[in-house]
Structure 1
Amino acid sequence: MNRAERAQMAMMLEVSAYPKPGNVDRCHDYADTRLEHFLASTILVRPVFDAAERPGGRVGSLIREAVMRTNGHSGGNTHFGAFILLIPLILGGDIEGARRVVAGTDVADAIEFYAAFGLTEVRVGESADLDVNDPASVAAIRERGMTLLDIMAYSADRDMVAREWTNGFSLTRRSADLLHAHGPGREGIVAAFLDLLASEPDTFIAKKHGAAVAERTMRCAAEVLRGERDLAPFDAECVEAGINPGSIADITIAGIYVALGEGWQWDS
């Protein structure tokens, strides 16, 4: 399996595993985003992953192209955070290579990323002053000479996907390790997802519902792991309230990509 195939498989396997509390999977959809939208994005992005596997690709333009290719359905952009993690991993081959890729980003990458961000409906934290919808932000990026790694560092305190770029992909590494520990297939994916959710407040939830809800969701996941709460009702509660741990899902995808490259079995 080459790197592009592994990335596709990671996206497909994550959305197919169930139940992952609050997230779209084969058992439930949201009104505006369904399982089919996630699977369609997995297919539509393949040319970008192929390009990332060839020499000379730039991370900013590849993220923008991935967003453009997967914006053609009514489900919105399903995998923006996953692309932020997967494309450096494909370019670099593994976590060490991804660290070198992000360290080598430049101002052009940052501007391409902002163009990609502007094509999504991803929530921006209220404290963000580099507004993706404000043309002055691009001018400010040029003026300050900000690389894409600088942009991620700027966002790291309020966005756990951006934080992966600044902490050496540490949660991605942990996600892969959890998959190895929990074993193969969808049961391993769900177990790894719950472990992450129980230990990290999801920043996608925090942006949508506030930090208190993200913290409460983390505590509830820990109760599931301790056997104090049943998983199915917790999942149903999250879906009903629209509590979607999207950032944990993105990091889980990246972890699956890494684990697949290390011999983790998805079909055992």
Structure 2
Amino acid sequence: MRCGCGEGSGAVPGGASAVVVRYGTNLLFQTACIWEATARKIGNVHPFADFAKTTHLDFLLSAAAAADYFNYKASHCVGLTVRLAVEATAVAVGQNTNLGILLLIAPLAAVQRIVPLRDGLVSTLDALSQEDTRLVYEAIRLANPGGLGGAPEQDVRDEPTVTLLEAMSLAAERDMIARQYANGFADVFDFGVPAFTAAFAKFGRVEAAIVDSQLRWLAAHPDSLIARKNGAAVAEDVQRRAQAALALGGLETPAGRAAGVALDRHLRSDGNRLNPGTTADLITACLFVALRENMVTPSAPFRWNVSDWL
């Protein structure tokens, strides 16, 4: 049965840049995952803030376990990539740490490196099949993400009858990851990547750029994971708090940073139920795009040195 494999395999042509030759897609995937998990983002796991059952090391091991399935020399279809990477992650850490990341980056990684990423992504999404849906549904059931409820159509517990693009489009109104499939990753390309690159140009550090873009994501879009676990009103309250932190200057002012620290305490106050996990997944996809498009390299300065942050 046909899978939405895109043109993810094949040798890098002689005219490709040195950066493309040096950094394989699997390294870019792993770098994006490590950067996102290591940045001191509000409400998320980072090196100085583990959850009760999930640690920073779990995310690093998950990135390593899944990375082999994002090598551009591999010939896996999108659905199979997600399914195999979820299984490898479960073996490595025994829990779901990266389902959203895998769903977002798998179609991006399937685009051949000689093809413009956004153009190639459209073709990859259009080529997704019913078999991709079946494999992704298997992956979702295995990962068993928090807040997973039923769906009126094409529920993940049932045998799918539509392509993965069609299935994601049905969920686009309630889930920001599904929305990316439906809109051609418009939020990633038109909002998230520019937010990260603008912040990197301003701060000169990857960590600060990630934290700044997280605040901007939260201010612009209620987090889907928070909404699934706690309801839309709670997610919208978090959105307003992020907007308030940005209105005070965000990372550029002591008042804005203090508001960010206060929001971090709020998000962690109830057993981490307000973890903005979907936003973290979207940021990881943006980092992968920025790395793949050579907007930033794995060797870019990372650590943001400021005395009044997390």
Please give the TM-score of this superposition, normalised by the length of structure 2: 0.79
Paired residue for 1:213?
234
More divergent stretch after superposition (8-17 vs 99-108): 99-108
8 A Cα contact 2:96 2:143, kept in partner: yes
8 A Cα contact 2:153 2:170, kept in partner: no
More divergent stretch after superposition (255-264 vs 186-195): 255-264
Measured after TM superposition, the shift of residue 57 of structure 1 is 2.4
Measured after TM superposition, the shift of residue 46 of structure 1 is 1.6
Q: Distance in 1 between matches of 2:33 and 2:154?
A: 29
Measured after TM superposition, the shift of residue 23 of structure 1 is 0.8
Aligned counterpart in structure 1 of residue 278 of structure 2, from 237, 247, 250: 247
Measured after TM superposition, the shift of residue 179 of structure 1 is 1.3
Structure 1 residue identity aligned to 2:63: T
| Structure 1 residues 47-104: Cα deviation after superposition (integer angstroms, max 9, x where no partner) | 1112xx1264211111100100001245511110111111111111423322211110
Measured after TM superposition, the shift of residue 189 of structure 1 is 0.8
TM alignment of 1:40-59, pairs within 5 A: 40-50=61-71, 53-54=72-73, 56-59=75-78
| Structure 1 residues 115-160: Cα deviation after superposition (integer angstroms, max 9, x where no partner) | 1111012132454453333xxx10xx23xxx001011011111110
8 A Cα contact 2:61 2:93, kept in partner: no
TM alignment of 1:27-176, pairs within 5 A: 27-50=48-71, 53-54=72-73, 56-74=75-93, 76-92=95-111, 93=113, 94-122=117-145, 123-133=147-157, 137-138=158-159, 141-142=160-161, 146-173=162-189, 174-176=191-193
Structure 2 residue identity aligned to 1:194: L
Give RMSD over aligned pairs. 1.7
Paired residue for 2:46?
25
Q: Distance in 1 between matches of 2:74 and 2:119?
A: 17
Q: Distance in 1 between matches of 2:93 and 2:25?
A: 28
8 A Cα contact 1:177 1:259, kept in partner: no
Structure 1 gaps of 5+ residues are none
- Relative contact order: is structure 1 or structure 2 higher (C-alpha 8 Å, sep ≥ 6)? 1
| Structure 1 residues 28-58: Cα deviation after superposition (integer angstroms, max 9, x where no partner) | 01101111111100111121112xx126421
| Structure 1 residues 182-209: Cα deviation after superposition (integer angstroms, max 9, x where no partner) | 1141001110111111110111110011
Structure 2 residue identity aligned to 1:177: P
Please give the TM-score of this superposition, normalised by the length of structure 1: 0.91
Q: Secondary structure at the match of 1:193?
A: helix
Structure 2 gaps of 5+ residues are 1-22, 249-255, 302-310
Q: Distance in 1 between matches of 2:172 and 2:118?
A: 18
TM alignment of 1:159-198, pairs within 5 A: 159-173=175-189, 174-183=191-200, 184-198=205-219
Structure 1 residue identity aligned to 2:54: T
Q: Percent identity?
A: 31
- Structure (1/2) with the larger helix percentage: 1
8 A Cα contact 1:206 1:214, kept in partner: yes
Q: Distance in 2 between matches of 1:30 and 1:100?
A: 39
Measured after TM superposition, the shift of residue 168 of structure 1 is 1.2
Bigger Cα Rg: 2
8 A Cα contact 2:154 2:167, kept in partner: no
